[in-house]
């Protein structure tokens, strides 16, 4: 009899533990955390009017500054700079030619002063001219070895632990999670599954043109030094439409580049959810918003307040920033 | 004792029935059918060297002529023609202006004689100028009601039963199935899940440009009368790379427009599979290949034979063409 009772009790205990487990343990108890959970519960509860079938549970995430850090410079720019240095031996002219000279001399100030044109040159010199498979190998090698100049961590360990928990929590609730980033689509895809649990086909980003050609009787896709699409600002809803074909139910961003994506996710016939990651933690990560050149958050901050979107506060809301070091 | 034996036998019987069930019942016993099953078994058997993890099991399908019929004209062109007629009252000038006049007079010969430029005019007049949501409604309404001029069936019932079985069989074996079509991405997406079991985000196709704008304080995506991308020939591997980010393991096509996609799927480091649907059945569907203006199969037929791809024969290999009528 006692045994029987125990046999029945064990599953009950396990079940209640499961229900009680905190899906977002790195988030402080806060209005931000409650808003996420409340929204997810509202769309997954079949008895509620707000219920949304699994097929339509789409969540989109900006990458730079939303899923991983973006200071002191975008990590993809750090990749491009490392790549210029790797290729410098084959380009002796770079020693005297800008913007390459600035890069080789670690003179970020001159590089940045060159503006958009200088950065574009660097990007094209490092991101084009090889097959897609060669580029995949190059980015994979970099992400596995390159380290952040301030923390000494691998860049792939500079992802936000609380956001990894949100990704996981949403997937457990039937959401398909997507990245919709201004960063390069092919820069992110080789590691998105391992780092975020997001397969390459659910990564949307900026792209350069690619050309199919038969090289040495081998079909190849060659990366061309020409912009194909910039997945930023009004480009984000356009890309969401092109790649996903459905309006997202939830959108997460951190800068004015995400504003249109957040508008789009929250203006459908169904209620939508928008969250802004507000960088307020100079001690543990970085504090910046309206005046930052990278990741400026100004118009979107105003609109978030006006529309009642969730603006989380990194300093106040996150118990941890990065995953525990191994 | 007898009861016990029966209790053990029932699951065994069920299991053996499951194993023995034919996954492709509308296919005749043939080399084509065997080649599909043999390939799937080779990549799903963990004990084989040819095993491929589920994440990399990508199968791509052309649509027109591969998953559904394309005669007497592409079904999307039939949609455009119906649409011109629907819109004619708002455009009295179309009564005298080509190519609209030809469409309104059911004069396909004149329309086709106008070539690419005439068709493009018709496509832009009917596919652009509305929001993406309005266009989704228009295509959904059409696909639910329009009927094929020869069979009287709904166009969505002009899909190939044997190919529906292939789609289902592949998904049961861990494949993600994708459409990669020269047809319009937004023409196919509203009904791909219902008809093919393929969700909208796994539909790749040709596209026109789309613009984000706030109309009456409502965020909208407006369809512009401008080509964005033609997903045909060398565009197919490019689009596969952009949308899927991985080389497919299996590719299915029926025309020279699919050649590069078939090459791409079969030229990776892993063995790949390519199949061509050969239209040989004038009695039950249509017979055409090297000389057809729609769905020409010439170069791809030669290459298939040279490379040992599967060229199925509709007349010989398929027991049924379309699903049974309700």
Residue range A19-30, pLDDT digits in tens? 568 999 999 999
Q: How far apart are CA A311 and CA A297, in angstroms?
A: 11
Chain A, chain B: beta-carbon pairs less than 8 Å apart: 79
Say if the Cβ atoms of A207 and B260 lie within 8 Å.
no
Residue range A212-239, pLDDT digits in tens? 999 888 999 999 999 999 999 999 999 9
How many CB atoms lie under 10 A from the CB of residue A26?
A: 20
Best of B59, B219, B236 to disrupt the A interface (most A CBs within 10 Å) is: B219
Residue range B55-99, pLDDT digits in tens? 999 999 999 999 999 999 999 999 999 999 999 999 999 999 999
3-state secondary structure at position A255: coil
**Contacts of A46 by beta carbon, 8 Å cutoff, 6+ apart:** none
A189 neighbourhood in chain B, CB within 8 Å: 245
DSSP secondary structure string, A273-294? EEEEEEEE-TTTS-EE-TT-SS
Residue A49 CA, chain-centre distance (Å), reads 31
The predicted complex's ipTM stands at 0.92
Q: Are A184 and A205 in contact (CB under 8 A)?
A: yes
For chain A, how far is it from start to end, CA to CA, in angstroms?
47
Q: Sketch out chain A's domains with CATH numbers.
A: 21-71+157-317 (3.40.50.1000)
Q: Are A167 and A50 in contact (CB under 8 A)?
A: no
Residue A14: both structure tokens together: 């396990």
Residues of chain B with a CB closer than 8 angstroms to some CB in chain A: 55, 132, 176, 185-186, 189, 193, 199-201, 203, 207, 210-214, 218-219, 221, 234-235, 237-238, 241-246, 260, 263-264, 267
Percentage of chain B lying above the pLDDT 70 cut: 94
Let me know if A188 is exposed, middle or buried by CB neighbors in 10 A (0-12, 13-18, 19+).
buried
Residue B10: both structure tokens together: 């029932």
DSSP secondary structure string, B88-112? GGG-GGGGTSTTHHHHHTT-HHHHH
Say if the Cβ atoms of A201 and B246 lie within 8 Å.
yes
Look at the block and give the residue holding tokens 């023409």: B187
Q: Are B62 and B258 in contact (CB under 8 A)?
A: yes
Say if the Cβ atoms of B200 and A245 lie within 8 Å.
yes
Q: Are A288 and A295 in contact (CB under 8 A)?
A: yes
What pLDDT sits at residue A215?
Answer: 87
Phi, psi dihedrals of residue B40, rounded to the nearest 5°: -60, -40
Q: How far apart are CA B326 and CA B316, in angstroms?
A: 25
User: What is the per-residue burial (b if ≥16 Cβ within 10 Å, else e) of A116-146?
Assistant: eebbebbbbbbbbebbbeebbebbeebbeee
Residue B85 CA, chain-centre distance (Å), reads 26
Over residues A64-71, the mean pLDDT reads 98
Q: Are B73 and B108 in contact (CB under 8 A)?
A: yes
Pairing of strands A250-253, A58-61: parallel
Percentage of chain B lying above the pLDDT 90 cut: 90
Residue B189: both structure tokens together: 């997406």
3-state secondary structure at position A184: strand
Phi, psi dihedrals of residue B148, rounded to the nearest 5°: -70, 135
3-state secondary structure at position B130: coil
Q: Is the pLDDT of residue B36 over 50?
A: yes
Q: What is the largest CA-CA distance in chain B?
A: 87
Highest mean pLDDT among A112-121, B70-79, B108-117: B70-79
* C-alpha dihedral sign at B59, B65, B69, B75: positive
3-state secondary structure at position A36: helix
Let me know if A167 is exposed, middle or buried by CB neighbors in 10 A (0-12, 13-18, 19+).
buried
Best of B180, B201, B226, B234 to disrupt the A interface (most A CBs within 10 Å) is: B201
Rg over alpha carbons for chain A, rounded to the nearest Å, is: 22
What pLDDT sits at residue B17?
Answer: 46
B213 neighbourhood in chain A, CB within 8 Å: 234
DSSP secondary structure string, B181-214? EEEEHHHHHHHHHHHHS--GGGEEEEEEEEEEEE
Best of A211, A219, A303 to disrupt the B interface (most B CBs within 10 Å) is: A219
Q: Which of A66-70, B58-62, B322-326 has the least mean pLDDT?
A: B322-326
Q: What angle do CA A146, A152, A158 make, to 5 degrees?
A: 75
Confidence of residue A135 (pLDDT cuts 50, 70, 90): very high
Q: Is the pLDDT of residue B276 over 70?
A: yes
Q: What angle do CA A71, A73, A75 make, to 5 degrees?
A: 95
Residues of chain A with a CB closer than 8 angstroms to some CB in chain B: 55, 132, 176, 185-186, 189, 193, 199-201, 203, 207, 210-214, 218-219, 221, 234-235, 237-238, 241-246, 260, 263-264, 267
Mean of all residue pLDDT scores within chain A: 94
Q: Are B219 and B259 in contact (CB under 8 A)?
A: no
- Residue B270's region, left for phi above 0, alpha for psi from -120 to 50, else beta, is beta
- The torsion of the CA quartet B316, B321, B324, B326, rounded to 10 degrees, works out to -160
- Nearest CA-CA distance, residue B144 and chain A, Å: 20
């Amino acid at each position: 009899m006692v045994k029987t009772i125990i046999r029945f009790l064990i599953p009950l205990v396990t079940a209640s533990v499961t229900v009680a487990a905190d899906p977002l343990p790195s988030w402080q108890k806060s209005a931000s955390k409650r808003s996420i959970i409340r929204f997810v519960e509202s769309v997954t509860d079949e008895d509620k009017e707000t219920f949304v079938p699994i097929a339509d549970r789409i969540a989109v995430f900006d990458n730079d500054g939303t899923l991983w850090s973006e200071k002191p410079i975008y990590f993809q720019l750090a990749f491009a700079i490392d790549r210029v240095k790797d290729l410098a031996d084959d380009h002796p002219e770079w020693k005297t030619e800008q913007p390459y000279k600035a890069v080789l001399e670690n003179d970020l100030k001159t590089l940045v002063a060159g503006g958009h044109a200088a950065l574009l040159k660097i990007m094209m010199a490092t991101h084009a001219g090889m097959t897609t498979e060669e580029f995949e190998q190059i980015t994979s090698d970099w992400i596995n070895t390159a380290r952040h100049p301030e923390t000494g961590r691998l860049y792939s360990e500079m992802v936000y632990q609380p956001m990894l928990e949100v990704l996981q929590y949403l997937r457990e609730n039937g959401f398909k999670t997507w990245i919709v980033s201004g960063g390069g689509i092919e820069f992110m895809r080789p590691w998105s599954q391992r780092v975020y649990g997001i397969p390459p086909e659910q990564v949307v980003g900026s792209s350069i043109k690619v050309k199919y050609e038969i090289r040495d009787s081998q079909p190849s896709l060659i990366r061309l030094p020409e912009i194909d699409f910039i997945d930023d600002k009004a480009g984000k809803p356009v890309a969401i439409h092109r790649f996903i074909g459905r309006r997202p139910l939830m959108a997460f961003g951190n800068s004015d580049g995400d504003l249109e994506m957040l508008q789009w996710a929250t203006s459908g016939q169904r209620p939508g959810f928008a969250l802004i990651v507000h960088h307020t933690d100079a001690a543990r990560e970085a504090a910046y918003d309206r005046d930052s050149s990278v990741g400026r958050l100004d118009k979107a901050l105003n609109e978030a307040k006006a529309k009642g979107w969730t603006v989380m506060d990194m300093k106040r809301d996150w118990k941890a920033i990065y995953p525990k070091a191994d």
